[in-house]
Amino acid sequence: MPLFSRRALPRPSRTATAPRRTWPELLAKYRRHLAAALAMLSLALCLAVLAPDTVERIEVLVAERDLPVGTLLRADDFATRSVPRSLVPAGSYADSPPADGSRLAIPVLAGTPVFPTMVIGPGLLAGLGSGSVAVPLRLDDEQTATLVRAGQMVDVVLTEGNGYEKPITSKVLARAVPILWTAAQGQETGQTPWSAASGSGQGGLIVVGSGAASAQALSTAAQRGKVSVVLVNP
């Protein structure tokens, strides 16, 4: 008898696998679940469409097209748009546009809401102290007016005398007053605010905000001598 007998090794049993289902069979089996899911999705979409808009919106006037600085405004320069209230600061024009003939103090892009602070007039004084006034100044050197911009702070200096009959003296009429508007800005865009066309003698015109106490001295400065401004750091 042999010491070792040859025995057949047990073969691993084959696990029976279920046949793969076809798509039609799967659809037939889960059609109720799919129908319920589609019904819920349709209901959710309907509710989303019919639900009222929770964002409060208001009607405001916006620029119909790009408006350069110095533009004389007309009714057809504006259009009405519905925008979320949270995106519109208080004070925008809602019911009626600025009066015809009002002039823009800054350039406005199409679609931008229009505010009184963008128009030459009382709105230019927004944010200044009580009793502030807007005073036009004609600078002796028109080139200086091309170097300054609205929003900058300047000291206004008056220089009197000719060095012969009267000695030359300079004094500061107002300190750290804001520039509200310059004629040079209108010339850059082809506009001629307040007839400030090139060569008309009005190119050096600027508007500054000042207190009532210094307004008279500023408004008559050009009649007494040469007016200049010095940029200052507020």
pLDDT of residue 218: 92
Q: Could you tell me the two tokens for 84?
A: 């979320």
125 near 148, Cβ under 8 Å? no
Among 116, 115, 145, residue whose Cα is nearest residue 208: 145
pLDDT of residue 198: 41
Residues above pLDDT 90, as percent of the chain? 13
Residue 66 has pLDDT above 80, yes or no: yes
Q: Which domains does the chain have, with CATH numbers?
A: 57-119 (3.90.1210.10), 123-231 (no CATH)
What is the total residue count of the chain? 234
* Residue showing tokens 């702070």: 153
157 near 171, Cβ under 8 Å? yes
Give, for 170, the enclosing helix (H) or strand (E): strand 169-182
Q: What is the mean pLDDT of residues 171-194?
A: 71
Q: Which residue has the higher pLDDT, 88 or 197?
A: 88
Cα–Cα dist 96/169, whole Å: 50
